[in-house]
């Protein structure tokens, strides 16, 4: 059949021959496309993925991508408790303030401001051990608080040490004064307190050194001059003692006991007129002092010596 068809094609004109060839080939091409699964009407290249960049309306500037923000550390409500504590403190309700600060610490155990605030209030309440613990914790958590924490920490140590000193517990007071000086190396009160306790503990040189430091930090520290004078006299330096007592009364013109001691040292040195003046000044300042009768008698005896 195919041979007969071909022969017939040869007998046709060239235009008809071409038409016959196309008619023979076209069915084969259509069958190939159907079998291979291709669709001539669809594009062969895959469609591009949608862009992740949002479209921008003509005439508007593109929106910049959000930048990374600083990490926020949630306080779990601790900041609110801190504020409540501050409000109670302003109202002088210190116990309530401590309670709120404690809640802040429970909500955030690493909240330095809460420890600082509670420590400050505990110090005002007289709980110096608790205050020292809290203030040290605040400093440990945030060394940047040093300028604010250290003066309060030093004061807590000083008041605690002063209490021990007043009770005659000098050996317990000395370490606390030393810790106060670690927190505040320029504290004249800490130097003075430690010097007093060292003097009472027979550490004369250490005491004199501390009194000298107290005077360097506070040249008007009358008590430091007075106590150093006593120790200088104890060492046999009467002239040095008189000089310190002169500085003491210059810093405090109502320092009755300094006039009394200087009068006795003048008497010892043979400075009779100066001794009389100082004894009289002492009586002028404290006329009802228990030693007044003895001082009056000493004045009369000194005057008699001048008449001889």
- Going by the DSSP 8-state scheme, the letter that residue 145 receives in this structure is G
Please give the pLDDT value at position 65.
34
Considering only residues 229 and 75, tell me which one the structure prediction assigns the higher pLDDT: 229
Does some domain include residue 306? yes
Task: Give helix 222-234 / helix 238-251 axis angle, nearest 10°.
Answer: 170
How many separate domains does the chain show? 1
Q: Which of 278, 276, 281 is nearest to 300 (CA)?
A: 276
Highest mean pLDDT among 48-52, 271-275, 301-305: 271-275
Residues ≥6 apart with Cβ < 8 Å to 150: 139, 183, 184
pLDDT band at 59 (very low <50, low <70, confident <90, very high): very low
Report helix, strand or coil for 202. Answer: coil
**Position 100 pLDDT exceeds 60:** yes
Give the pLDDT band of residue 25 (cuts 50, 70, 90). low
Q: What pLDDT is stored for residue 62 in this prediction?
A: 35
In a domain? residue 289: yes
- The Cα diameter of the chain in Å comes to 180
d(CA 117, CA 108): 14
Total Cβ atoms within 10 A of residue 264: 15
Residue 272's pLDDT is 96
Question: Residue 89: inside a domain, yes or no?
Answer: no
Cβ-contact 210, 223 below 8 angstroms: no
**pTM exceeds 0.75:** no
The answer as to whether 244 is a domain residue is: yes
Percentages helix, strand, coil for the chain, rounded to the nearest 5?
70, 0, 30
CATH of the domain at 304: 1.25.40.10
26 within a domain of the structure (yes/no): no
**49 DSSP 8-state letter:** P
Asked, for residue 300, whether it belongs to a domain, the answer is: yes
- Is 298 contained in some domain? yes
219 part of a folded domain: no
Give the range of the structural domain holding residue 301, as residue numbers without chain letter. Answer: 237-308
What does the pLDDT look like over 172-217, one tens digit per residue? 999 999 999 999 999 999 999 999 999 999 999 999 999 999 999 9
pLDDT given for residue 110 in this prediction: 95
Q: Is the pLDDT of residue 97 over 80?
A: yes
Do 287 and 258 meet the contact criterion of CB atoms below 8 Å apart?
Answer: no
- pLDDT band of 76, cuts 50, 70, 90: low
């Amino acid at each position: 059949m195919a041979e007969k068809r071909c022969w017939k094609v040869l007998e046709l004109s060239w235009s008809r021959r071409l038409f016959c060839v196309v008619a023979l080939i076209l069915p084969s091409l259509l069958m190939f496309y159907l079998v291979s699964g291709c669709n001539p009407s669809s594009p062969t290249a895959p469609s591009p993925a949608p862009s992740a960049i949002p479209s921008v309306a003509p005439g508007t500037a593109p929106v910049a991508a959000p930048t990374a923000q600083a990490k926020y550390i949630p306080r779990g409500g601790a900041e609110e408790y801190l504020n409540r504590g501050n409000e109670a403190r302003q109202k002088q309700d210190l116990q309530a303030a401590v309670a709120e600060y404690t809640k802040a610490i429970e909500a955030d155990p690493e909240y330095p401001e809460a420890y600082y605030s509670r420590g400050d209030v505990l110090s005002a309440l007289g709980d110096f051990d608790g205050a020292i613990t809290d203030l040290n914790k605040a400093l440990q958590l945030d060394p940047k608080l040093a300028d604010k924490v250290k003066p309060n920490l030093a004061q807590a140590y000083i008041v605690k040490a002063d209490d021990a000193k007043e009770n005659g517990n000098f050996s317990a007071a000395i370490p606390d004064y030393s810790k106060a000086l670690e927190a505040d190396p320029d504290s004249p009160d800490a130097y003075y307190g430690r010097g007093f306790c060292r003097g009472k503990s027979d550490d004369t040189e250490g005491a004199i050194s501390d009194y000298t430091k107290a005077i360097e930090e506070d040249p008007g520290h009358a008590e430091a001059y007075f106590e150093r004078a006593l120790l200088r006299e104890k060492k046999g330096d009467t002239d040095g003692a008189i000089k310190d007592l002169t500085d003491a009364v210059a810093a405090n013109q109502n320092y009755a006991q300094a006039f009394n001691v200087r009068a006795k040292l003048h008497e010892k040195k043979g400075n009779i007129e100066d001794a009389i003046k100082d004894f009289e000044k002492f009586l002028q300042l404290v006329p009802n002092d228990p030693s007044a009768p003895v001082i009056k008698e000493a004045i009369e005896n000194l005057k008699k010596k001048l008449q001889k």
